[in-house]
Amino acid sequence: MVTLGRLPTLAGDPVQAYRLVNSKFPPINLFDDVADAQAFEALYQIQALTNPRLRNEVGQLELIPRSEIPFGIPGCSYATAPFTHVNPAGSRFSDGSFGVLYLAGSMETALAEVQHHQRLYWSKVQGLNYERFVFRGLACSFIDAAMKDATAISMKDPIYASDDYAASHRLGKAVKDTGTPGLRYQSVRLRGNHCWALMTPRPVASIIQAAHYEMIWNGQITGVNQIREA
């Protein structure tokens, strides 16, 4: 089984990666409305007086130090949201106690990853016979300095188990606990491609909207289409 110390460290190259988010959840504009942590605190306190939904919109701010939030970048809300809205059920590299910004090396890979997880979720929803779900495609630019590279690790390693995340949780915790900013790893859902697990939004330079996609559910995912403007 792979250990963090065995993984090579990436040099610090610029990276373009991709992500999908459900379009029913709007961006948290508060993160994009300010340029630094001090301005954020002032605006947050003012808005909290009149917006009772603000905590739900912004998430659990105590989960991320203000110094880790990349204020002033395009799409700061997209970069920060995974760290303040943490899935308690966990994910491949998190046991649910901390957030991870998952990205894919291509939009095709991002679609394959999201399809897998959405298929599992939708199959458990009773009475869901037909539905159209829309996702916002995002393009993310960041620097991979000091991140670890697990792409050379065999797909037979337990960190790549299809649905058992015990080994990958241990690796993710080690990455998080050592202050390593992220991990490059092989895509389990689209073999031959790779993904990223960022443990902090700090390396992100921008996240911008790229396109919209729809997934058609009819007992299974029967179609994935890019939505184009007329």
* Continuous segment of H or E residues that includes residue 118: helix 107-122
Q: Which helix (H) or strand (E) holds 139?
A: strand 131-143
Structure tokens, 215 = 């997934």
Q: Where are the domains of the chain?
A: 4-227
Does the structure show a pLDDT above 80 at 90? Answer: yes
The angle at the Cα of 89, spanning 202 to 106, to the nearest 5 degrees, equals 50
Strand partners, 216: 132, 223
Over the range 10-43, which residues count as b (16 or more CB within 10 Å of their CB) and which as e? beeeebebbbbbebeeebbebbbebeeeeebeee
Lowest mean pLDDT among 49-53, 128-132, 182-186, 192-196: 49-53
DSSP three-state, residue 122: helix
**Per-residue pLDDT, 134:** 93
Q: Which residue has the higher pLDDT, 85 or 51?
A: 85
Residue 185 confidence class, pLDDT cut points 50, 70, 90 = very high
pLDDT(58) > 80: yes
Identify the three-state secondary structure at position 140: strand
178-183: average pLDDT: 98
Query: With 80 as the cut, is the pLDDT of residue 209 above it?
Result: yes
Amino acid type, 172? G
Single-letter amino acid, residue 192 = G
What's the CA gap between 201 and 26, in Å, rounded? 19
Q: Are 76 and 206 in contact (CB under 8 A)?
A: no
Contact status, residue 133 vs residue 202, Cβ threshold 8 Å: no
pTM for the model stands at 0.94
Short-list 149, 132, 122, 95, CA closest to 212: 132
Instruction: State yes or no: pLDDT of 111 exceeds 70.
Output: yes
Band of pLDDT at residue 55, cut at 50, 70 and 90: confident
